Structure 1
Amino acid sequence: MRKVMVAVIALFLVTVTGLTACSDSDKKAEIQPSQSASPASEAPESNSAAPVTWDSPNLSWKQDTSPVKYSMYIDFDWYSVDTWGKDDVSKEITKRTGVSLDVTKASDLNQLQVLLATGNLPDFIFTSNQVQRFWDPKKIWPWNELMDKYAPEFRQLLDPIEIANNTAPDGNFYTLKTHYSNDDQWADPRNLPSVGDPGLAVRQDILEAIGNPQINSLEDLLEVLRTVHKKYPDMIVYLPSKDISNPIMDILGFNNSNPYLDEQGNVKVNISNPNFLEYLKFMNTLYREGMLDPESFTYDTDQFYQIAGEGNVFMASYSTMVADLLNTRLKDNKKDGWFVPINDHSITYNGKDQMNLTEAGTGWASLFINKNIKDPERAIRFVEFLKSPEGDALTQWGIEGLHYTMGDDGLLDFNNDYLKDKPVTETGIGAWYFQGSSFGETLPMVSRAADAPDQSQFLNVLKFRKTKIVRDPALSFVKPPSDTDEFNISTRLQDLFNNESVKIILSKSEDEVVSKYNELMNNANKIGLERLNTYMTEKYKEAKVKYESLKK
């Protein structure tokens, strides 16, 4: 879900920097800056007379800020930074906490498994990939143990629901996932889904040239694409990105990685969705009719933007910001054209709105602490700083007074004179968010929208998606632990999906699509599809009982 958000946000900030800020009257309704993204600003009273808050002077992270250095492994090959101490934010983190990091960025997504198998883990590991592998107290520190011993007030400051969201089957919690919002924070109109969610955009100028037809259904979209292909035979009709879940899947009610909840309340693997076949048929139709180049499934992000920015693409899919980013690319290349998002409203299929955005809503990536770390006390206290409103603001917004000021309306006013043309490798904004919140991520986007309305079409997509999202944290407990047969089944099924989907799309006929789909499903059943579906449903129902008890 979040694979590209650092690059997307960084590019957006650079794009709109330098534009004059609009007046306060154009910004959103007032909200106090103290309403931070962190799960809780206050906790139950401790042994002292005053309650502990994130502003308390005796927080554990403030007690020792002497220099200490840790190793950090970032398990994302797309990550925009890999060197600590060269940008404003990382320097400021070290200044406030004394902590510096020796960073290693993944070049191969299999590297971490090798490190885990050999026991050569760095001090910190930041990953979203098969996190169940790290639920092991022999290899990884449970945060609850570290908090109780070295930072007891840290645990008091956390929302019990967030702790429940991250509690492993053994009763420990080994991390707190990033980009989480509790219900109150999610209700804030400025708190929006991730900009890394799927986006779908078309060229408005081409759409107008063919009569400006409405696109309110997948059937409408197919006819529009056919019309464009007929009138502009040399144009690339559709350019998808392989790095983001295809938004056509969203329209059909599933995505490429997460399980889904059916109408009977059962949790199932994505390929169990009957509309998976409809997705394959739709994409195959585009391929067979010459509207989808098979080479597009091999393009990396740079190739995607290079091709789309040449002005010869009608429809493109990437993140929710795809229209805004491509418009910037067209302008920079002095090419005509204007992209507009089309997944900012309901698009039906077979006369029905099929979109199903039920999700766990428990966060994204996990930060783990190696059991062999040299100084676990400073490590958990460093995490406390990162989790605090102060740390959240610093890592995701930058340095107050240098990069931005907080307006009375609760929006950020960025220092455009300073930030102009500076990349994230210089500013560090939105890069070191190892405990960043969802609100902290989206507030810069909302704040920037006032400065650059022409580059903020993505906000309409995010606002629409928010109306469709149903948050169900019990879904976060359906993934099996790494030492189980169900985990192996899940891995093999995901590999099956990844390896066979494109092959099926590139079939010579729809009959061949159906035949290959049936073969895929037969193989999935042999691997253990129904066993995994049953397992996930049972775990989901158990978790629902737990969450209901927390609400009482």
Structure 2
Amino acid sequence: MKRKKKTALGLLAAAALLVVTACGSSNNAPSNEGGAEATGTEPFTFKVFSGDVNNEWDHMESDIGKYIKEKTGVTVEQEFPVGGNDGEQISVMIASDEYPDAIMAKGNVTKLVDAGALIDLAPLIDKYGPNLKKVYGEYYNRLQYSKDDPAIYVLPHAGVGQTYFESGGGFQIQHQALEAAGYPEMKTVQDYENAIKSFIEKNPTTEDGQKRIGLSLNGGEWQFLISVTNPAFYATGAPDNGEMYVDPNTYETIMHYQRPEEQEYFRWLNHMNDIGLLDPESFVQKYDQYKAKIATGRVVGLIDQQWDYAQAENTLKSEGKFDQTYARFPITLNESYQDHSFQGTGYLGGYGISITKDAKNPERIIQFLDYLASDEGQVLVNWGIEGVHYDMVDGKRVMKPEVQKLKATDGNTFKKTTGIGNYFLSARYGDGVKDPSGNYYTTVFKDQIVAEYSDADKKTLEAYGATTYRDLWPADDAFPERPYGALWTMSLETASEENVIFQKAQDIAKKRIPEAILADPSEFDAIWDTFQKELVEAGVDKVNKAYTQKVKERIELWSAK
């Protein structure tokens, strides 16, 4: 144990977002060709392709990684997308009909299902997955692929029984800008704009002479959806449904860019560009360039998700520049809207891990995933090892001070050296769920969140009468639960006419939306009208009808007893 204590801060890297919705042909039965026995702890290695790049993956060389290998005999080898494009690599796999043992395919599951690449996990779960069934509980039927194909192709990564104690999205602004403005009201885009503008006017350059950037968007790569288009949902009072808007009363869907409300949101971004507050490189910069700008402290405002900019913000924390890190707010177009980020979905299937038809020993893989879903496994992947990362104090798990400090000040190093949060590969309980001892399975609960805040965070939150950033958003019961979950977990058939149209519409949006934002304000409406016309001419109505049908089928499937 002494050795482990010495290496407690030399652990593994965050493999956390290894989540992918994987699905496959229901006639693919599990095989054990060339594999070891399904039981036991004999050394066994399986390969996983993860759709999300994890720069902090530790190759199971951390204390937690070594513990897992010793406990299960299993070594996980992860492969990540070259250049960050998971879709291209998955297409190559499909073309060659060769796959790794497991895959986390994100939005490419339907392609894999159509190719017959994934096996039905239900028989394996029935035989080897008691903990998996326990975690999913009453939502187990939601893992079924569709009404016509009830096979289980994906073990979703989303936490079951999730309570949202924290918010990682919204509109971000540096603490120093808020303090300089006297912590003004932050509810609308006008409030947000005023605070950025005021700070830039008084502080046009950083201490080292770099020109400050008012607002930068991560719109040069796939995060265009996260940083540019998804915020149009939230700013105009709608929940995230991928690229579609679902009428809450009729469940009719349209491509969300077709909403007049969103035109006004993008008009505001056009205005921000016109007055020189929008980073002109927002739609051409690479992800590394975006993070590098943030890490300098020169970007006053972001519209993003914290997981997307966290690495850069952690650099600022490691340098003690906490006033240049970000507060988060539920900003809307005007006060007639409420941010629907936390509108309930019930438990969502979708992104997670799948086993492919080429897996050498799917039984052993399921056993491994079942261990991670056990009470012991859940505590391990969230808290680490007792005596190394946390202690039991009066019956409560308490993170060790040195581990807590590292987590609060240098999240990048924390994930790579502790491995905590790096093994979310299987079913898991959500925040707010307690284990048999009465402790939370995860480290995301109010007291722990507050313990990780910097003094700058606490000062800002106090000014706005809040304890956590989540307190600034509407309450959990502010909106009715969506009976279909979320449309972004649904995909069109790969070879369908509707999917071809959908992809074309995406290309149109990625061209026209930046063009409209960067145009002279006098040209905005004409460009937007052209955009809408091109969507209709591309046949977007067929996409709208196809998704409307999927939403209604999902409601029927999930409501079935």
TM category, shorter: 0.7 to 0.9
Deviation at 1:113, TM superposition (A): 1.6
Query: Which sits farther off after the overlay, 158-167 or 526-535?
Result: 158-167
Amino acid at match of 1:540: V
Of 415, 425, 434 in structure 1, the residue corresponding to residue 416 of structure 2 is: 425
Deviation at 1:210, TM superposition (A): 4.5
Contact 2:501 2:538 (C-alpha < 8 Å) held by counterparts: yes
> Per the alignment, in what secondary structure is the counterpart of residue 135 of structure 1?
helix
> Which residue number corresponds to residue 482 of structure 1?
494
Note if 1:353 corresponds to 2:361.
no
CA deviations 1:91-112 (Å, max 9, x no partner) are 2222121111232111132111
Deviation at 1:233, TM superposition (A): 4.8
Of 297, 302, 307 in structure 2, the residue corresponding to residue 316 of structure 1 is: 302
Q: TM-score scaled by structure 1?
A: 0.75
> Which residue number corresponds to residue 6 of structure 2?
none
The gaps in structure 1 that reach 5 residues or longer are 1-9, 15-60
> Which residue number corresponds to residue 426 of structure 2?
435
> Which residue number corresponds to residue 365 of structure 1?
351
The gaps in structure 2 that reach 5 residues or longer are 1-8, 14-36, 206-211, 433-440, 462-466
Contact 2:90 2:108 (C-alpha < 8 Å) held by counterparts: no
> Per the alignment, in what secondary structure is the counterpart of residue 49 of structure 2?
strand
Give matches, 1:87-166, under 5 Å: 87-107=62-82, 108-109=85-86, 110-135=88-113, 138-148=116-126, 150-151=128-129, 155=133, 158-166=136-144
Give matches, 1:48-447, under 5 Å: 63-77=39-53, 79-82=54-57, 84-107=59-82, 108-109=85-86, 110-135=88-113, 138-148=116-126, 150-151=128-129, 155=133, 158-168=136-146, 169-181=148-160, 185-186=161-162, 188=163, 191-192=164-165, 197-210=168-181, 212-233=183-204, 235-242=212-219, 243=223, 244-246=226-228, 248-249=231-232, 250-254=234-238, 257-265=242-250, 266-320=252-306, 329-330=315-316, 333=319, 337=323, 341-343=327-329, 347-357=331-341, 358=343, 360=345, 361-362=347-348, 365-405=351-391, 412-414=398-400, 416=402, 420=406, 422-437=413-428, 439=430, 443-446=442-445
Deviation at 1:124, TM superposition (A): 0.6
> Per the alignment, in what secondary structure is the counterpart of residue 356 of structure 1?
coil
> Per the alignment, in what secondary structure is the counterpart of residue 76 of structure 2?
strand
Contact 1:180 1:437 (C-alpha < 8 Å) held by counterparts: yes
> Which residue number corresponds to residue 538 of structure 2?
527
CA deviations 1:364-391 (Å, max 9, x no partner) are 6221111121222212222222232332
Amino acid at match of 1:449: I
| Alpha-carbon distance in structure 1 between the residues aligned to 2:479 and 2:108 | 24
Query: Which sits farther off after the overlay, 370-379 or 416-425?
Result: 416-425
Query: Which sits farther off after the overlay, 84-93 or 280-289?
Result: 84-93
Contact 1:327 1:339 (C-alpha < 8 Å) held by counterparts: yes
Contact 2:135 2:373 (C-alpha < 8 Å) held by counterparts: no
Q: Provide closer, same or farther for how the CA distance between residues 323 and 445 of structure 1 changes in structure 2, counting only shifts above 3 A.
A: farther
Deviation at 1:241, TM superposition (A): 3.2
Query: Which sits farther off after the overlay, 299-308 or 523-532?
Result: 299-308
> Per the alignment, in what secondary structure is the counterpart of residue 215 of structure 1?
coil
> Which residue number corresponds to residue 451 of structure 2?
451
| Alpha-carbon distance in structure 1 between the residues aligned to 2:319 and 2:551 | 50
Contact 2:38 2:361 (C-alpha < 8 Å) held by counterparts: no
Q: Provide closer, same or farther for how the CA distance between residues 136 and 100 of structure 1 changes in structure 2, counting only shifts above 3 A.
A: farther
| Alpha-carbon distance in structure 2 between the residues aligned to 1:321 and 1:154 | 26
Note if 1:460 corresponds to 2:468.
yes
Q: Provide closer, same or farther for how the CA distance between residues 142 and 534 of structure 1 changes in structure 2, counting only shifts above 3 A.
A: same
Contact 1:86 1:426 (C-alpha < 8 Å) held by counterparts: no
| Alpha-carbon distance in structure 1 between the residues aligned to 2:358 and 2:297 | 53
Contact 1:241 1:301 (C-alpha < 8 Å) held by counterparts: yes
| Alpha-carbon distance in structure 1 between the residues aligned to 2:128 and 2:273 | 58
> Per the alignment, in what secondary structure is the counterpart of residue 294 of structure 1?
coil
> Which residue number corresponds to residue 33 of structure 2?
none
Of 458, 482, 485 in structure 2, the residue corresponding to residue 472 of structure 1 is: 482
> Per the alignment, in what secondary structure is the counterpart of residue 281 of structure 2?
helix
| Alpha-carbon distance in structure 2 between the residues aligned to 1:494 and 1:101 | 35
Amino acid at match of 1:175: V
| Alpha-carbon distance in structure 2 between the residues aligned to 1:328 and 1:101 | 27
Query: Which sits farther off after the overlay, 256-265 or 166-175?
Result: 256-265
| Alpha-carbon distance in structure 2 between the residues aligned to 1:83 and 1:208 | 39
| Alpha-carbon distance in structure 1 between the residues aligned to 2:453 and 2:518 | 39
CA deviations 1:4-60 (Å, max 9, x no partner) are xxxxxx9xx99xxxxxxxxxxxxxxxxxxxxxxxxxxxxxxxxxxxxxxxxxxxxxx
Contact 1:284 1:507 (C-alpha < 8 Å) held by counterparts: yes
> Which residue number corresponds to residue 540 of structure 1?
551
| Alpha-carbon distance in structure 2 between the residues aligned to 1:488 and 1:408 | 59
Contact 1:143 1:175 (C-alpha < 8 Å) held by counterparts: yes
Contact 1:310 1:333 (C-alpha < 8 Å) held by counterparts: no
Deviation at 1:417, TM superposition (A): 5.9
Contact 2:265 2:333 (C-alpha < 8 Å) held by counterparts: no
Note if 1:506 corresponds to 2:491.
no
Deviation at 1:272, TM superposition (A): 2.5
> Which residue number corresponds to residue 31 of structure 1?
none
| Alpha-carbon distance in structure 1 between the residues aligned to 2:107 and 2:297 | 36
Amino acid at match of 1:353: Y
Amino acid at match of 2:512: E
Give the % identical residues. Answer: 22
Aligned length: 481
Q: Once superposed, what is the RMSD of the aligned Cα atoms?
A: 3.7
Query: Which sits farther off after the overlay, 116-125 or 418-427?
Result: 418-427
Q: Provide closer, same or farther for how the CA distance between residues 484 and 396 of structure 1 changes in structure 2, counting only shifts above 3 A.
A: farther
| Alpha-carbon distance in structure 2 between the residues aligned to 1:151 and 1:331 | 41
| Alpha-carbon distance in structure 2 between the residues aligned to 1:174 and 1:471 | 25
| Alpha-carbon distance in structure 2 between the residues aligned to 1:449 and 1:295 | 34
Deviation at 1:292, TM superposition (A): 1.0
